Amino acid sequence: MKPSLPKGTRDFGPVEMQRRNYIFDVIKSVYHKYGYLPLETPSMENLSTLTGKYGDEGDQLIFKILNSGDYLAKVDHVELQNKNSKAVLSAISEKALRYDLTVPFARYVVMHQHELVFPFKRYQIQPVWRADRPQKGRYREFYQCDADMIGSHSLMYEAELILMFKEVFEKLNLSVDIKVNNRKVISSLMQFLELTEKFVSVVTIIDKWDKIGQEAVEKELKDLGITNNKIAEIIKFVKLNPNNIQEAILSIHYFASTNEIGIKAIEELTHLNEYLQAVDAFVNNNISIDFTLVRGLNYYTGTIFEVKALNAEMGSICGGGRYDDLTGIFDLPGLSGVGISFGADRIYDVLLAKNLFPSFLNTNSLALFFNFGKKESIFSFQIIQQLRKRNFQVELYPDETKMKKQFQYAEAKNIPFVVLIGESEIAENVAQIKDLRNGEQVKVSIEHIADFLSKFSDNAI
């Protein structure tokens, strides 16, 4: 039997793990600093918790877990005979793997509403599962790295989340464009143009602009039965390219000031701008306003975020936004939240392509002590254990075998130093230390091995 992995899943070996942990650690450090605390929810949720939260298509992509034991015993005979997969499902499956981290978060907040202190801020870094068709960059198991605040309408949180994006990518040395929009702006325009009923169709067409171009967008809008005048207004709006939030507010004023939702949009953009201006957030010029940005159309109600890496062949690497009624799905209305999510897999690919992983990620051993037989290896083992007490990461080759094989092991594992202590070295109380990177070999007294190696170890004490 030749073992294999399920489609769309991956093993992460030591090198990938160290790189992934580097990304997660940077994100976590920023989440912590801004007062977001860790939460983990179970991989399984009741199927009823997840069903209906992601649309019909989403429901199809949820991985269902088969009930244990004689799972067919109580299933309706007729439905079985008819092979009615949908009807049988509810009888043979009660649990499913989580599809995202947002619904479990809402479930957690509702279950713990009386113990939690609001505004409640949590971060969550865990895998999610989707029965999507696997393809390049799309997996059936992948990590999400979310931070969400729930229980306040304050735009301060939006400002902070933008600053958190900035800080994470500064720490990762990755140049990005942080796009910001407010969902209310386009709603206001649609009201202004009396196109509210066609909202979803229009936005869906606008969203294709980058792919199909202006002409095709105009044609599709025309096919919707929209007048030329209104199409011209929509095109003018899409082409707005404000340099900052102040300019953005001025550019939408002519329609936004005419209806309630537009006035609210201006108010929210103004507040956000006050916080960001106060801390010179625009200094590095990596925040931009994009009125055509729509993510999770039926979901976000206010501010929307998206982050793209500059000069990279990659879609958005982060997203997020404000949702005014997150826990309404579980009958706890009125709690407004805002959150962000880092796409760890995509960030990984971009950092790798740009060679931005730091060299200190190599956590292989610093030195391999050769094994020259029983007496010698016990002698080396003693020294190794003393070095470990001082936090050196060193190891002994386990068996007495040919030097060549021990050298090969050190080289294959990228261990920079080998330490040779044979019979004559024990007699002299010295060790031969060879630097495999340049071939240089020095003789060091046993007492000074730690001193010698400490120049090359950050952790040693």
**Site for a copy of itself, residues 369 to 388, rule: CB under 8 A:** 374, 377-379, 381-382, 385, 388
The sheet with strand 367-369 has its strands ordered as 394-396, 367-369, 417-420, 430-435, 441-445
8-state DSSP, 133: P
Which CB atom, from 83 or from 211, has the smaller least distance to a copy of itself?
83
d(C-alpha 328, C-alpha 332), whole Å: 5
Which CB atom, from 296 or from 398, has the smaller least distance to a copy of itself?
398
Which CB atom, from 34 or from 282, has the smaller least distance to a copy of itself?
34
Candidate ranges 292-300, 309-317, 361-369, 425-433; the one touching a copy of itself (CB under 8 A):
361-369
Site residues for a copy of itself, 394-413, by CB under 8 A, read 395-396, 398-399, 409, 412-413
Minimum Å gap between C-beta 203 and a copy of itself is 30
**What is residue 174's three-state secondary structure?**
coil
Cβ partners under 8 Å of residue 231, min gap 6: 218, 221, 222
The sheet with strand 287-289 has its strands ordered as 37-38, 120-129, 141-150, 337-342, 318-323, 303-309, 176-182, 287-289
Candidate ranges 10-18, 221-229, 244-252, 426-434; the one touching a copy of itself (CB under 8 A):
10-18
Minimum Å gap between C-beta 189 and a copy of itself is 28
Q: Judge contact between 418 and 368, C-beta under 8 A.
A: yes
Which CB atom, from 98 or from 230, has the smaller least distance to a copy of itself?
98
Site residues for a copy of itself, 159-178, by CB under 8 A, read 159, 163
CA neighbor of 159 nearest in space, from 316, 272, 18, 266: 272
Cβ partners under 8 Å of residue 333, min gap 6: 325, 327
Minimum Å gap between C-beta 197 and a copy of itself is 30
Give, in degrees to the nearest 5, the angle at Cα 322 between 318 and 324.
150
Minimum Å gap between C-beta 91 and a copy of itself is 11
Length of the chain measured in residues: 461
The residue within the footprint of a copy of itself, chosen from 23, 26, 27, 97 (CB under 8 A), is 97
Site residues for a copy of itself, 110-149, by CB under 8 A, read 110-112, 117, 119, 122, 127, 129, 131, 140-141
Minimum Å gap between C-beta 14 and a copy of itself is 4
Report the DSSP beta bridge partners of residue 43: none
Candidate ranges 42-50, 207-215, 253-261, 285-293; the one touching a copy of itself (CB under 8 A):
42-50
Structure tokens at 375: 């007496």
Structure tokens at 91: 């009888």
Q: Judge contact between 125 and 143, C-beta under 8 A.
A: yes
Minimum Å gap between C-beta 31 and a copy of itself is 11
Which CB atom, from 44 or from 312, has the smaller least distance to a copy of itself?
44
Site residues for a copy of itself, 296-355, by CB under 8 A, read 330-331
> Which residue's structure tokens are 């969400």?
148
The residue within the footprint of a copy of itself, chosen from 22, 54, 157, 342 (CB under 8 A), is 157
Which CB atom, from 40 or from 428, has the smaller least distance to a copy of itself?
40
Q: Judge contact between 258 and 185, C-beta under 8 A.
A: no
How many CB atoms neighbour CB 48 within 10 A? 11
Candidate ranges 153-161, 183-191, 199-207, 249-257; the one touching a copy of itself (CB under 8 A):
153-161
Phi-psi region of 368 (alpha: psi -120 to 50; beta: other; left: phi over 0): beta
Question: For residues 27, 28, 33 and 34, what is the CA-based torsion angle, rounded to 10 degrees?
Answer: 70
The residue within the footprint of a copy of itself, chosen from 56, 57, 69, 136 (CB under 8 A), is 69
Candidate ranges 73-81, 228-236, 348-356, 417-425; the one touching a copy of itself (CB under 8 A):
73-81
Q: Judge contact between 301 and 342, C-beta under 8 A.
A: no
Which CB atom, from 212 or from 378, has the smaller least distance to a copy of itself?
378
Site residues for a copy of itself, 167-226, by CB under 8 A, read none
Which CB atom, from 65 or from 235, has the smaller least distance to a copy of itself?
65
Q: Site mask, a copy of itself, residues 76-95, x = CB under 8 A?
A: -x--xx-xxx--xx--xxxx
Site residues for a copy of itself, 416-455, by CB under 8 A, read none
Minimum Å gap between C-beta 422 and a copy of itself is 17
199, with CB counted inside 10 A (0-12, 13-18, 19+), is middle
How does strand 176-182 pair with strand 303-309? antiparallel
Site residues for a copy of itself, 243-302, by CB under 8 A, read 274-275, 278-279
CA neighbor of 302 nearest in space, from 123, 427, 433, 152: 152
Q: How many residues bind a copy of itself (CB under 8 A)?
A: 104
